[in-house]
Amino acid sequence: MEYKGWDQVEVGAVVPSFADTSCDIVDLKQEDRNYAQTNSYTASVADWRVFKPVFSKDSCIDCQNCWVFCPDTAIVARDKNMLGIDYDHCKGCGICAEVCPTNPKSLIMFSENVDNDTVLSQWPEKKKKEK
């Protein structure tokens, strides 16, 4: 898609969020929406990350703490289940790992260049409570 330069955009120009405005998007999941190219959903901030959260389903209790506190709408929750991380939109802030209440944590921050399967196979064990 070709964009107008800053000096070609008219005053009061409108940037559409959706290519199709006939539907009520509040009833649609993100994957079912017809986004316009001008919606930031179509862009990625993956290259901002130095650390990334990795999600391990085993200990997750689907509490949705990570979903509600993620500032970048990058936790995918569907039907009350935590499905995983949307790595196109995650900036690696680390909030989700910080607020995850399980033991061991179900979200842990790792360097961006580690392999997810490797760290998942070495996931920490449940920690005993310190006396």
Partner 1 sequence: MSKIIKNLKQFSTSNDRFEGAHLLCPGCAHSIIVRELLNCTDDNLVIANATGCLEVCTAVYPHTSWDASWIHIGFENAATAASGAEAMYKTLKRKGRLKDPDKPVKFVAFGGDGATYDIGFQFLSGAVERGHDFTYICLDNEVYANTGGQRSSSTPRGSSTTTTPAGRVSYGNKKFKKDMVAIMAAHGAPYVAQVAPNKWKDMVKKYQKALATEGPVYINAMSACTTEWKFPSQDTIDVSDLGTDSLVFPLYEIENGHKLTITYRPRNIVPVRDYLGVQGRFKHLFKKENQHIIDEMQKAVDLKWELLQRREEAGI
Question: In which region does residue 84 sit, left (phi positive, over 0), alpha (psi from -120 to 50) or beta (all else)?
Answer: left
Q: Is residue 97 classed exposed, middle or buried when 0-12, 13-18 and 19+ CB atoms within 10 A define those classes? A: buried
Q: Which helix (H) or strand (E) holds 67?
A: helix 65-69
Q: Token pair of 115, please?
A: 């392999």
Residue 37: φ, ψ to 5°: -60, -20
- Written as six digits, the tokens of 24 are 């009520």
Q: With binding defined as CB under 8 A, does residue 118 bind partner 1? A: no
- Peptide bond preceding 53: is omega within 30 degrees of 0, i.e. cis? no
Q: What are phi and psi of 67, to 5 degrees?
A: -65, -45
Total binding residues toward partner 1, as defined by CB under 8 A: 51
Q: Which of residues 26-55 bind partner 1 (CB under 8 A)?
A: 26-30, 37-45, 48
18 binds partner 1 (CB under 8 A): yes
> Is 76 near ligand SF4 (CB under 6 A)?
no
Least distance in Å: CB of 54 to ligand SF4?
10
Q: How far is the CB of 47 from partner 1 (least distance, A)?
A: 11
- Binding positions for ligand SF4, rule: CB under 6 A: 53, 60-66, 70, 72, 74-75, 82, 85, 90-96, 100, 102, 106-107
- Binding positions for partner 1, rule: CB under 8 A: 3, 6, 9, 15, 17-18, 25-30, 37-45, 48, 62-65, 67-74, 77-80, 86, 88-95, 97-99, 109
